[in-house]
Structure 1
Amino acid sequence: MKRITLLSLMIGLLIQGCHQQEASKGEGKSLEAIFPKGNKGPAELFTGNAYNIGLVPNDSVYHTVVGNVYFEPGARSNWHTHPGGQILIITDGEGYHQIEGKPIEIMKKGDVVKCPPNTRHWHGASPDTGLQQMYVVTNTDKGIVEWMEPVSDEVYNSK
């Protein structure tokens, strides 16, 4: 009786493992969340679905803002600048980053990207894979963000 129960348990775990492997192979690979998803970003600032959660609010001691953004596949920010600069830490998925006038760069889990002060740029997920990024907006005493127009499909798809 114990052998049959143990064998049934082992077969069940094997089947469950196979289903999990197949689910992770397909499109829309789910990302491993570190922080809660947050609130959906406004359509005036993002193309597609992007969710933001603040982690460290601005203050007069550290002069930084820290948060996390989850971009669904194909989602991206508008063009924007940060008067004091920005640092992106990619925690999962795959995405794009572009500084105006330069080629699009691919970002993957573990990458760190520096966006210089007052430099037009955008960032977001790749067409097929979501992106999770922590952001650190530095020198916030100079300002936090200046939003501009959406990134066109032509620019986004030029990768």
Structure 2
Amino acid sequence: MMREKFSSVFPTGEKNEAYAKYFVGQSYLNMLSTTGVTIGNVTFEPGCRNNWHIHHQGGQILLVTAGRGYYQEWGKPAQELHPGDVVNIPPEVKHWHGAAPDGWFAHLAVEVPAKGASNEWLEAVSDEAYSKLK
């Protein structure tokens, strides 16, 4: 593991066991806030990505802090992400995000507060689709 060469603003946290079934590969989670606005520092090992999912009601904001990764909305091409990038994900948009195949990636995941907000986890991003990313 090349963790010592990966540097992020926030601590990596523990292995993301609670949500492991919704990820391909290993991720780590460090909850920075669970009061008012939920903010988690999510770190992805190379090749790790979460499943397609939808945030109902509130949506999500990603603040990229380290590495190189991707964000993709259903039916659109994937966008490459770098530190400093911000992704505003409206509610009801099917999407995924994760690391590039060759490097670590970290972002803050901000859950936009809303009455009745929930997250629906869907199918994994296929290896075939993921392998087409540069």
Q: CA offsets, 1:6-36, max 9 Å, x none?
A: xxxxxxxxxxxxxxxxxxxxx8882212222
For the pair shown, which has the larger CA radius of gyration, 1 or 2? 1
Unaligned 5+ runs, structure 2: none
Does residue 148 (structure 1) correspond to residue 122 (structure 2)? The answer is yes
Q: Which runs of 5+ in 1 are unaligned?
A: 1-26
| TM-score between both structures, scaled by the size of structure 2 | 0.88
- Asked if 1:46 is matched to 2:20, the reply is no
SS in 2 for 1:55: strand
The whole-number CA distance in structure 2 between the counterparts of 1:31 and 1:141 is 37
RMSD: 1.8
What TM-score do the two structures reach when normalised by structure 1? 0.75
Give percent identity, aligned residues only.
Answer: 43
Cα distance between partner residues in 2 of 1:140 and 1:79: 21
Q: Provide the rounded CA distance (Å) in 1 between the counterparts of 2:77 and 2:102.
A: 20
Q: Deviations over 1:115-140 (max 9, x none)?
A: 11011100000001110101111024
* Match in the other structure for 1:5: none
Report the count of equivalent residues.
Answer: 129
Q: SS in structure 2 opposite 1:118?
A: coil
Q: Which has the higher helix share?
A: 1
Name segments (4+ residues, structure 1) moved above 4 Å: none
Whether 2:33 is the aligned partner of 1:56: answer yes
Which moves more between the two structures, 141-150 or 72-81? 141-150
More strand by share: 2
Which amino acid in structure 2 is aligned with residue 49 of structure 1? Q
Bigger relative contact order, structure 1 or 2 (CA pairs below 8 A, ≥6 apart): 2
Q: Determine whether 1:136 maps to 2:110.
A: yes
Give 1:142 shift. Answer: 2.6
In the TM superposition, what are the counterparts of 1:9-158 in structure 2 within 5 Å?
A: 30-42=5-17, 43-58=20-35, 62=36, 64-83=37-56, 84-158=58-132
